[in-house]
Amino acid sequence: MLRSILATAALLAITCSVGAQSYRPEDADIRCYSDSTCAALKGKRLWVTINNNEICTSLTAPKGCRSIRPGFSFIVEDVVGEGVLGKYFRVKTDDGKTGYINHANAHLLTFKDPKPAQETRKRQAALEAEQKRKQDEADEAAIAAMPKDQLEKSCILAAAERLPRIPGIEIIGYRTKPLPTEFKPTPGTYMTLVEIDAKAAGLNETYNFVCAKGARTPAIIQAFAR
């Protein structure tokens, strides 16, 4: 009974935490939903894909369990235990020790070593991060080289396009101001506050906008309530 409760708790913990990790379905291809499909894994070498798996020293000593990391491999010797959630793979690890892995965790296992694919993704992520860093530096240099009056003109014209569509509205003044402190420009982006004074139906109104102009993108305008 205790084993069944612990197994259920383990399964719930896995279900809740898998989504928070970088789990990819193609990393795992083990399906073990019946006695026959589980038994078919006997004698197979399997690998762990993500950190949610645990290996226990015995079925009667749950405290003897420890986490196993991606890339950990073992040979399935048998399927033991009782109940839907109380079955375990009895496995032989590479150091010759015997351990037990809940068969409910089978979907987190794979027939192939996941490390090469994971290392490839790490290298790709590092390459993309380096490319982004270089692009950010280039964008920052490009923005720094643009005349400020040209950047301000782009922002003022873009802000004028966002004025209310009131018949007869007339722009009577405009200016740029430093950004409020809550705005933090991203690298390679010029940002400023645009104020436009307009007159319509005999009334004067000032409209405020935040403008962001990238080195490779047009000015983006957002209304700003002061």
Which value, in Å, is the radius of gyration of the alpha carbons in the chain? Answer: 30
Residue range 66-76, pLDDT digits in tens: 888 888 999 99
pLDDT at 206 over 80: yes
Do 169 and 215 lie in one domain? The reply is yes
Total number of domains constituting the chain: 2
Is the residue at 205 inside a domain?
Answer: yes
Share of the chain above pLDDT 90, in %: 50
- 170 and 86 co-located in one domain: no
Better pLDDT: 104 or 28? 104
Average pLDDT, the chain: 82
Number of helices (H), then strands (E), in the chain: 4, 11
Q: What values do phi and psi take at 32, rounded to 5?
A: -140, 80
Q: Which residues contact 71 (CB under 8 A, 6 or more apart)?
A: 47, 48, 113, 114, 115, 118
pLDDT of residue 14: 37
Whether 81 and 61 have beta carbons less than 8 Å apart is answered as no
**29 within a domain of the structure (yes/no):** yes
Can you list the pairs that 189-195 forms with residues at least 24 positions away whose Cβ atoms lie under 8 Å? 189/139, 189/143, 189/213, 189/214, 189/215, 190/143, 190/146, 190/151, 190/155, 190/214, 192/151, 192/152, 192/155, 193/224, 194/155, 194/156, 194/159, 194/221
pLDDT score recorded for residue 225: 83
Look at the alpha carbons of 157, 160, 165, 171 in this order and tell me if their dihedral is positive or negative: negative
Dist. CA 73–CA 111, nearest whole Å: 10
Instruction: Assess if residue 138 is contained within a domain.
Output: no
Specify burial of residue 75 (Cβ count, 10 A radius: 0-12, 13-18, 19+).
Answer: middle
Integer Cα distance of 155 and 146 in angstroms:
13
Rounded Cα distance, 11 and 206, in Å: 59
Per DSSP, 172 falls in state: E
Is residue 55 located within the same domain as residue 154? no
Which range of residues forms the domain containing residue 95? Answer: 2-113
27 has a pLDDT exceeding 90: no
Let me know whether 100 and 172 are in one domain: no
The amino acid at residue 131 is: Q
Is pLDDT above 60 for 219? Answer: yes
Give the residue, 216 or 226, on which the prediction is more confident.
216
Domain-located, residue 191: yes
Helix (H, G, I), strand (E, B) or coil at 157: helix
Domain-located, residue 140 = no
Instruction: Identify whether 89 is part of a domain.
Output: yes
pLDDT of residue 7: 40
